[in-house]
Amino acid sequence: MTLIDRTALPAHEDHRLRRENASLRHQLKEALERADRTLKADALLNAAASSDVVFPDWALKKAHNKKHQVIPVHLLSDFHFDEVVELSQTNGRNEYNRAIAERRLKRNFNKVGEVCRDYVKGFHYPGIVVCLLGDNFSGNIHEELKNTNEDTILGSLFHWLEPMGAGLKMLADEFNKVTVVSVVGNHGRNSIKPISKNRVRDNFDWLFSALLKRQFEKAGDKRFHWVIAEGHKQPFQVYNTKFIASHGDEAHGGSGIASLLSPLMIQAAKLKRLHDYDYWLIGHWHQLAAFKNVRVNGAGKGFDEYAAIKSFEYQPPQQDLFFVSPQHGITASWPIFLEDK
């Protein structure tokens, strides 16, 4: 084997080799880190599948009203579990941590049952549809999040299986049948930059839903029907109304005077080229809104430091709940406020 005398190389060739060497070392490091994360995720999946999860008692009384029939659809997204938001850094608008998130999640599920049972009277509910629209976790996509989150991403996933499972169980006790439609967000991804190939299976939102499904199946709970998307978008139908669910990060822009209206209407028109739908359901934008054929969910996390710096419009933490009838599609909606004023 002939050794290369680098001292005899031209300066530009030596510089190129140094760059290539640094790039290869970086790629090797990323590959090893990814393999390590995959092994940890597999271990967590196997551990969760072989153990029983004890749910807190969030059960509510069943409703027995058999009058006119509608199906509630509840959008749940952007809780960014285990992110920390400091009150002093949001001009006093919002603070957030694990304890606050647990309180808001519990209130969310209780309020969905309370609204349907005590406020929207005169209806019979054959079941409920829950759309998990992504960004369940804060994730590691930014260095500042990785440094300030209350737990690692795997630790967060393991912790939040129980409270989320408890909330879904409560809805099953209330409505008897629950259809869970799940898509992934952008914060749960296992890569720094967004990817297109294997986008879903490389996202902790997918793993979270898969683990929830497995633990309910292991418990023999047949009240659930799971639709866990393998692609970025998931079509589904309630009565005669056609929906398509995604996180909403495929639309870009929204910093102008029209805010989120322009990018979302443009993207909604593009969706019509490939999908037959009546309403597009998304999260991501942290603003509860409904216009034309688009419904945008609010954020369980609420207002944060980034929104304060960018002077985004303040909105209290809330989630969407609406009702679909066989004859008229969406007939009413009711925001679920996660905090008292």
pLDDT reading at 32 higher than 90: no
> Each residue of 146-167: pLDDT tens digit?
899 999 999 999 999 999 999 9
pLDDT reading at 47 higher than 60: no
pLDDT at 164: 98
pLDDT at 61: 40
| Cα separation values, 284 from 13, 181, 298, 305, Å | 46, 16, 8, 16
pLDDT reading at 8 higher than 80: no
In this prediction, residues 310-323 reach a mean pLDDT of 94
> Each residue of 100-156: pLDDT tens digit?
999 999 999 999 999 999 999 888 999 999 999 999 999 989 999 989 999 999 999
Sheet-wide strand order for 279-282: 234-238, 241-245, 279-282, 294-296, 289-291
pLDDT reading at 48 higher than 60: no
pLDDT reading at 204 higher than 70: yes
> What percent of the chain has a predicted confidence (pLDDT) above 90?
67
In this prediction, residues 60-77 reach a mean pLDDT of 73
pLDDT at 235: 95
Which of the two residues, 47 and 79, has the higher pLDDT score? Answer: 79
In this prediction, residues 60-71 reach a mean pLDDT of 61
In this prediction, residues 57-71 reach a mean pLDDT of 55
pLDDT reading at 56 higher than 70: no
In this prediction, residues 246-274 reach a mean pLDDT of 85
Q: What is the 3-state secondary structure (H, E, C) of the chain?
A: CCCCCHHHCCHHHHHHHHHHHHHHHHHHHHHHHHHHHHHHHHHHHHHHHCCCCCCCCCCCCCCCCCCEECEEEEEECCCCECCCECHHHCCCCCCECHHHHHHHHHHHHHHHHHHHHHHCCCEECCCEEEEECCCCECCCCCHHHHHHCCCCHHHHHHHHHHHHHHHHHHHHHHHCCEEEEECCCCCCECCCCCCCCCCCCCEHHHHHHHHHHHHHHHCCCCCEEEEECCCCCEEEEECCEEEEECCCCCCCCCCCCCCCHHHHHHHHHHHCCCCCCCEEEECCCCCCEEECCEEECCCCCCCCHHHHHCCCCCCCCEECEEEEECCCEEEEECCEECCCC
pLDDT at 246: 96
pLDDT reading at 218 higher than 60: yes
pLDDT reading at 67 higher than 90: no
pLDDT at 22: 75
pLDDT at 233: 94
pLDDT reading at 60 higher than 60: no
pLDDT reading at 76 higher than 70: yes
Strands 279-282 and 234-238: unpaired
pLDDT reading at 220 higher than 60: yes
> Each residue of 170-183: pLDDT tens digit?
999 999 999 999 99
pLDDT at 231: 93
